[in-house]
A and B are shown apart, each in its own frame.
Chain A
Amino acid sequence: MNDSTQYALEERVAEQHRHHGNRRFFYVWGSLLVLTAVEVYLGYQNMEPKKMLTILMGLSIIKAALIIAYFMHMKFEASAMKWLTMCSLVFCLCMMVVFFSGCVPFAQSWSKCSMRMRLFSLALLLVFWGAPAFAQGCAMCYSSAAGSTKEGQKAISRGVLILLTPPIGFMTIGAGLAVRYGKKRDDAYRNTDHEG
């Protein structure tokens, strides 16, 4: 991106601030303080933990949305930025529910599913997650790679493989250690049961 584009973008931010004024930020700040006070009040109510967790997290999500929208200016960003970043974040956090289903009240039914079903869903989600990669079509990168010499193209291919090796290696070691630990733990439990 060249300098003039950057200045134009900075000017846009300044214009947004001039247009909306700072009063709006004070309103958001006040709302956040009020929501915090409501949370503290709820903290002293003798509620069932799951119900309380749901209400408190709901309020926290509203607070987070206010911070992201106004303080972090997401409301004034381009729609591509808004949708891609927020959808990615929500999607990735929802994927964690697959593993931590027991802690989210509305996902309790997940804990009744078998582990195989969960792993299948996770694999399916990962496959869908990879789909946008096919739509990238970065014309400049592709044309510059296609325009280079055969040696250059070979070097790019090798570079991709080399860059792929460390993450896959680390993942493999991590997964191997996790499986080994799981087996060891199961054996220990089994031995304890026999002794018991």
Chain B
Amino acid sequence: MSEAAVQHGIPNVYEPSLFGTYSKKIGMWLFLLSDSLTFGALLYAYSYGRISTPNWPTPFHSESILNATIMTAFLLTSSLTMVLAVSAAANGKKSALRGWLLATMVCGLGFIILHGREWSNLIAEGLTLPVFPPVPGHEASVEFANVSKTVPQFPATFFGLTGMHMLHVTIGVIYLGIVALRKLFIPILLVLWAAGYYLIPTYSPFHYGVHVLLVSAIVCGIILWLRPKVYDSADVEVAGLYWHFVDLVWMFIFPLVYLMSTKIV
């Protein structure tokens, strides 16, 4: 509709935006507000469980806390590289833009790998959900097996909350990949999907979780086919908003899930 107005050259047909910015940015903010309510509800529920359950387990040893701290540092650094990418895009520096976007993706990927490794270790040690198949050749530790039996809401909320966040980070990395590399990124996604599906053992939840990459490749392919375009600085800024939101949510998950359940020797 607005394109029609522009084509006809009618000036001031539409009122200037109340928010003094372009519509896709407002759209992304609205999405982020709704998504923050989803995470808000999950975090409130987790806090409720944490405070109201007297025998809430504190299973995270210093290795887990160190791992989560490094993950936090990865995300914070990725936010810095993202804001530098937005700055490069605003100043028209294309090569710097691509470099900073790729750096952000590398940090995001580092976060996902560390998180995946931690999930796998916890599952192998016995902190698991009934839907996860047992890990062959691994003896579950008594401590974690007891946690899964006596306080089942702990693994349920832990995997629910961190899994939801991990999904958001994965989608964020894919989003940035599409903005940085456009259709070149789709074959990369497909290769990653195939490699993940065939290399990750079938008892791991990531063997099935890797299908997110296939679905994303199909969706992104359709979007790029329907509306091929060169992404401008506004698109980079909007992608940056999403990425910073993912970082922001982790700022609440990290203390709530990990630091509130630290094993103090």
On whether A36 and B72 interact (CB within 8 A), knowing A53-B47, A67-B247, A78-B19, the answer reads yes
B79, A6: Cβ atoms closer than 8 Å: no
Residues of A within 8 A of B84 (CB): 22, 25
A64 to B247, CA, bound (A): 9
A44 to B128, CA, bound (A): 25
Q: Which residue of the partner chain A has the closest CB to B21?
A: A9
Chain A interface, DSSP helix/strand/loop, else mixed? helix
Of the listed stretches A92-100, A118-126, A168-176, chain B binds A92-100
Cβ of B173 under 8 Å from chain A: no
B52, A57: Cβ atoms closer than 8 Å: no
When A and B form their complex, what is the total count of cross-chain residue pairs whose Cβ atoms lie within 8 Å?
177
Residues of B within 8 A of A63 (CB): 248, 251
Residues of B within 8 A of A73 (CB): 237
A41 to B259, CA, bound (A): 9
Residues of A within 8 A of B72 (CB): 36
A44 to B87, CA, bound (A): 38
Residues of A within 8 A of B29 (CB): 81, 85
Cβ of A185 under 8 Å from chain B: no
B244: contacting residue among A5, A60, A71, A80, CB under 8 A? A71
Residues of A within 8 A of B11 (CB): 2
Of the listed stretches A10-18, A150-158, A159-167, A188-196, chain B binds A10-18
A16 to B21, CA, bound (A): 14
A42, B17: Cβ atoms closer than 8 Å: no
Instruction: Give A contacts to B, CB under 8 Å.
Output: 1-3, 5-6, 9-10, 13-14, 16-18, 22, 25-26, 29, 32-33, 36, 39-40, 42-44, 46, 49-50, 52-53, 56-57, 59-60, 63-64, 67-68, 70-73, 77-78, 80-81, 84-85, 88-89, 92-93, 96-97, 99-100, 102-104, 140
| Contacts A/B (CB < 8 Å), 24 sampled | A2-B14, A13-B237, A14-B91, A18-B91, A25-B80, A33-B76, A36-B69, A39-B255, A43-B255, A56-B255, A59-B255, A67-B244, A71-B240, A72-B244, A72-B245, A77-B21, A89-B33, A92-B33, A93-B40, A99-B44, A103-B48, A103-B50, A140-B14, A140-B15
Instruction: Give B contacts to A, CB under 8 Å.
Output: 2, 5-6, 11, 14-23, 26, 29, 33, 36-37, 40-41, 44-45, 47-52, 56, 65, 69, 72-73, 76-77, 79-80, 82-84, 86-87, 90-92, 232-234, 237, 240-241, 244-245, 247-248, 251-252, 254-256, 258-260, 262, 264
In addition to A13-B90, A33-B73, A44-B262, 6 A-B residue pairs with Cβ atoms within 8 Å of each other are A2-B2, A14-B91, A36-B72, A57-B256, A92-B37, A97-B44
